Amino acid sequence: MTSTSTDPLIFLRRPSLSQGTLVLALSGWMDGGDVSTGTVTRLVHLLDAQPFAEIDPEPFYLFNFPGSMEIAALFRPHVVIEDGLVASCEMPTNVFSAHEPANLAFFIGKEPNLQWRTFGQCVFRLARDVGVRRIVFVGSFGGAVPHTREPRLYVTCSDAGLLPEMDQYGLRRSGYRGPGSFTSYLMSRAGAEGFEMVSLAAEIPSYLQGTNPRCIEAVTRRLAKMLKLPLDLASLRAASTEWELQISAIIEENQELANTVRQLEEAYDTELLQHEE
């Protein structure tokens, strides 16, 4: 461990990358369907990337938020008590891992509630220290895509010069006005900090909750192509197909929802044809 007691960035070791890429996942604002954390967790697993640093969660999160119990519950750590004993207390974690042969680093953490600038400086400082040139975030947002179709993938870049490169991966250029994510803040600072930054966001079905294997598989496949990773994604494809069949069977039992999905399918197919013309 090579940090001071007041430094929230804690190094366990220091990998060395050459113009490497740091792939970010953050739970919270843009992690619907677990697409952000699910995709990067799968990549870490497939590559056997090893932890090398972490960000101390203590300065960055609210745990005792005032208000109703329903609101306060969103901020408190999840605990499990069994037979009169505390079995677990899940505090936020922010872990960096690296796979040096692929020149990659990964970050899986939680979007901070507090001190965005300080948290961001931890990310930038680590990236600079280990030899990262490009930062890539993967995430999701709820939209009008049906679960039976490929999610539409959108890209946001920190520099206009990156957009032509991203076009070759079949990514649509995003457009948005509204509440911002921590990722958007990072991107607004990336150029001044000396980094390229790209955000890849999947549009996922807004009528579904819980993990979305189809979107995770689609984003992982596109990200593997961008990072030039020869990964075996057969298990992801199998999980995606099984999930789609299960969801479709459940939806067919609800006539109103089934009609909604068919309308979304028709609109999706029409829009796709127009987009390709």
Give the per-residue pLDDT at 12. Answer: 95
Give the per-residue pLDDT at 5. Answer: 63
What are the backbone dihedrals phi and psi of residue 210, each rounded to the nearest 5 degrees, phi first?
Answer: 90, 180
Residue environment code for 89-116, b if the CB has 16+ CB neighbours within 10 A, otherwise e: eeebebebbbbbebbbbbbbbbbbbeeb
- Cα angle vertex 243, ends 241, 244, to 5°? 65
pLDDT tens for the 277 residues of the chain, in order: 444 468 999 999 999 999 999 999 999 889 999 999 999 999 999 999 999 999 999 999 999 888 888 888 888 989 999 999 999 999 999 999 999 999 999 999 999 999 999 999 999 999 999 999 999 999 999 999 999 999 999 999 999 999 999 999 989 999 989 999 999 999 999 999 999 999 999 999 999 999 999 999 999 999 999 999 988 888 888 999 999 999 999 999 999 999 999 999 999 999 888 766 5
The string of DSSP codes covering 184-252 is: HHHHHHHTTTT-EEEEEEEEEETT--S--HHHHHHHHHHHHHHTT-----HHHHHHHHHHHHHHHHHHT
Coil, strand or helix: which one is 90?
A: strand
Give the per-residue pLDDT at 3. Answer: 44
C-alpha 46, offset from chain centre = 16
264: left (phi over 0), alpha (psi -120 to 50) or beta: alpha
User: pTM score, two decimals?
Assistant: 0.91
> How far is the C-alpha of 109 from the C-alpha of 93, rounded, in Å?
6
| DSSP H/E element including 261 | helix 255-276
Give the per-residue pLDDT at 277. Answer: 59
Give the per-residue pLDDT at 1. Answer: 45
End-to-end Cα distance, the chain = 56
Give the per-residue pLDDT at 95. Answer: 98
